[in-house]
Amino acid sequence: MSAIRSSIKAEPGIRGESAAPRPAKSGGGHLFVPARWHRPVVLKWLRRTHAWLGIWGAALGLLFGTTGLLLNHRATMKIPGPAYDNTQWQLSLAQQPADIDALVRQLQQELGIAKPPHQKKVEAAGPTPWPGAMQPERWLIAFAVPLATVNAEYWVGNQSVSIKRMDPNLMARLNRLHMATGASAAWILLTDTMAGALIALSLTGVLLWTKLHGSRLLALGIGGVSLGLLLLLGFTA
């Protein structure tokens, strides 16, 4: 009986025998990513970067998300839509401007607007429906300030310029906030940093999901290229 037991232990592949250890798998290889990036310190750095970027974008994300929901569902929530309170008047000019840039400087001084206009347009003089009458040159200027939009219309030769100021209500202000209409450079820079944070969050989140393994990166690459081709075909069809 002892001989039988010893023979069973000696035979390879029989249950109870300690098999030789199998070689460890490479975990997907180092496809697309250098081998030195597969160290734990890299994943730790990615997690920290992802977390801090999430904290940075949380405040602005909450602001844009809340205002976006209000704008999208204002009809269901019975919220008044974007509207403007229009005010018009004639502004007398001390002297006729030599060109449209001179008129811009006069308007900035008279209206207390420091920002340059976001639109300037010169319409050439032309004939009118009445024989022998010519329409003078027309200048159109538009200022976009944070709380209002100011449009100016001037016919060359006149002693006054027509001013139209449009003051937005709350929903219109939120809409302008989303489109950065009349926003300062500081606000645009702030929203740009948020956009960059969202891009970085997407990239670091994908890398954390793949754990820098080649098989997952390959699957992600194939899926991304396929989705890109589908979108390209959809827009060009």
The answer as to whether 19 is a domain residue is: no
The answer as to whether 1 is a domain residue is: no
Position 214 scores a pLDDT of 57
Per-residue pLDDT for 17 more than 50?
no
The answer as to whether 26 is a domain residue is: no
Read off the pTM: 0.53
The answer as to whether 22 is a domain residue is: no
> Do both 93 and 209 map to the same domain?
no
> Do both 126 and 161 map to the same domain?
yes
The answer as to whether 11 is a domain residue is: no
The answer as to whether 90 is a domain residue is: yes
Residue range(s) defining the domain that contains residue 146? 84-168
Cα 144 from Cα 182, distance rounded (Å):
4
Evaluate whether 161 touches 95 at the Cβ level (below 8 Å). Answer: no
Position 25 scores a pLDDT of 47
Q: Quick one: 139 exposed, middle or buried, by C-beta within 10 A (0-12, 13-18, 19+)? A: buried
> Do both 92 and 206 map to the same domain?
no
Strand order across the beta sheet in which 138-145 lies: 84-92, 160-168, 148-155, 138-145, 119-123
Evaluate whether 138 touches 155 at the Cβ level (below 8 Å). Answer: yes
The answer as to whether 21 is a domain residue is: no
Per-residue pLDDT for 229 more than 50?
yes
The number of domains in the chain is: 2
Evaluate whether 117 touches 150 at the Cβ level (below 8 Å). Answer: no
Least confident of 19-23, 146-150, 221-225: 19-23
Task: For residue range 123-172, list pLDDT tens digits in order.
Answer: 988 887 778 778 899 999 999 887 889 999 999 989 999 999 999 887 78
Q: What is the mean pLDDT of the chain?
A: 76
